Amino acid sequence: MKISVIGAGYVGLSLAVLLSRKHEVVALDVIPEKVDMINRRISPIADRDIENYFSSEKLNLLATLDYEDCKASDYFIIATPTDYDPKSNSFDTTPIDVALDNIEKTCPEATIVIKSTVPIGYSRRVREKRKIANLIYSPEFLREGRSLYDNLHPSRIIVGTADMDGGSAERFADIIKGCSLENNVVVLITGYTEAESIKLFSNSYLAMRVSFFNELDSFAEINELNSEDIIRGISLDPRIGDYYNNPSFGYGGYCLPKDTMQLRSSYGNTPHTLISAIVQSNDDRKKFIADRIAAMVSCDSATIGTFRLNMKAGSDNSRKSSILDVMEILKERGFDIIVYEPTLMHDFFRGCRNIRDIEEFKKHSDVIVANRLTDELKDVSDKVYSRDVYSRD
C-alpha cells in the first residue's frame, strides 16, 4: 500500500516511520533541510526511537517537497500543525485546507485521514463542503520525544468517521495496528465530532492535572510545607495514582496550551467554570513563579540565569514552554536575564545573552531558574530556584 504523510513534524514523521516498516510511505514537508535529513536518515527532531530506527531498520520511506511524488497514494495522512489563533478564538486550519486542495489535484480518490488537531465540528464541515467521499479523523496521543514509541505501543486507536458501519475506519485502524508492536490495542470507532472532542478533552484533563499539582505546590511553598510529602501522600490513593504529578512552572509544548484554549472557546455559552479555570490557573502559576524568583534577588542589578528552554527532558521543543513566559515577566520588571541553552546556536535569545558554556553560565548567574533539575546544577544548588520534586517530567 502507498501512504503519503503531509507534514513531517512530531506526529507526521513518527507515523511515516511506523508505517514505512510495512508500506511504501512518502513524507511531504515544506522545509528542504528537513526533507534532506530524512532522506539521509538523520532525524530532524529529538526522538531516540526514530534515531534508532533510522540507523538500524530498513524503511520504505521517501521524503519530498513535491506532491507529484504522492501520486497513486491509497491514503493521505494530514499531520500539519494547527496553532491556536487568539484573534479568531480557534485553531488556524489553513495548513489542512492547503493540503486538501493539493490532495484533490493530486489524487482525489485517496482516503484522507486528518491527524492534525482541529476545532470540534471541522471534519464534518469540511467533508460536506468539499464533498470528500472518504474522510477519516483520527486523533494522535503522542508524547514529545517519545512519539515513535507511542505509535509503536499505542494506548488506544480512535477513529472518527461519517460511515458509522465502520468500514473505512476499521481498515485504517487495522493498518495502524498492523504496523505497531501491540496485539491487543483497543480501537474505538466514533463519529467525527466525538473523535475531535476526545482529543481536546484528553489533553485538557492532563492540563488540569498539571495545574492541580502546581496549585498544590504554590500552597505548600507559601505556607512552608513539604510539597513532596503532600504529593506522595495523596498519590498513594489508587484513584489518583503516582504519575503526572511533578510540579513545574506550568504546562507547555505543542498541545496542551492550544488544546485547552480551543476547548474553552468551543463551549461558547455552555457553562464551563472548570475548563476556563485550567487556562487561568496556568497563567497564574507562571506569574506566581516570577514573583518568587524576584523575591530571591537581592538587588536590581542581579543577573537571573535561565537554565534550558526546552519544554521537557528529551525534547528539543521550546514552543509555549512555561519558562519563556516566566522570563518575559521578569524582563518586563527590569531584571537582567541570561540563558543557558546549548542546542541554540545563537548568541542571543529574545534579547537575552545565550551562554553555551555551563560553567560560565553558572559563574555569571546570581540566581538560576530551572524548570527541571539535573546533575549539572548540583554544585550551585544554593542559588537554584526550581519546583521540581521528582527530577523528572
DSSP letters spanning 270-309: S--HHHHHHHHHHHHHHHHHHHHHHHH-SSTT-EEEEE--
Residues 6+ apart with CB under 8 A from 23: 1, 2, 3, 60, 175, 179
Residue 255 bears catalytic tag: yes
CB atoms within 10 A of CB 358: 15
* d(C-alpha 183, C-alpha 221), whole Å: 46
Tell me what pLDDT residue 314 has.
Answer: 55
42-82 pLDDT tens trace = 999 989 999 999 999 999 999 999 999 999 999 999 999 99
Supply the pLDDT for residue 315.
55
State the pLDDT at residue 365: 96
Helices (H) and strands (E) in the chain, counts: 13, 16
Residue 180 has pLDDT above 80, yes or no: yes
Structure confidence at residue 104 (pLDDT): 95
For residue 361, with 0-12 CB atoms within 10 Å meaning exposed, 13-18 middle and 19 or more buried, which class applies? buried
pLDDT at 310: 77
Residue in this structure with the C-alpha cell 520588571, named with its chain if needed: 333
Which single residue is written with the C-alpha cell 517537497? 65
Q: Of 179, 255, 299, 352, which is the active-site residue?
A: 255
Name which residue leads in pLDDT, 83 or 32.
32
Return the exposure string of 282-301: e unless at least 16 CB atoms fall within 10 Å of the residue's CB, then b.
Answer: bebbbebbbebbbeebeeee
pLDDT of res. 86: 86
Question: What digits encode the pLDDT tens for the residues 102-137?
Answer: 999 999 999 999 999 999 999 999 999 999 989 999
**What is the pLDDT averaged over residues 294-321?**
77
How far is the C-alpha of 162 from the C-alpha of 156, rounded, in Å? 20
Question: What is the grid cell recorded at 287?
Answer: 506569574
The predicted-structure confidence for 1-30, as pLDDT tens digits, reads as follows 999 999 999 999 999 999 999 999 999 999
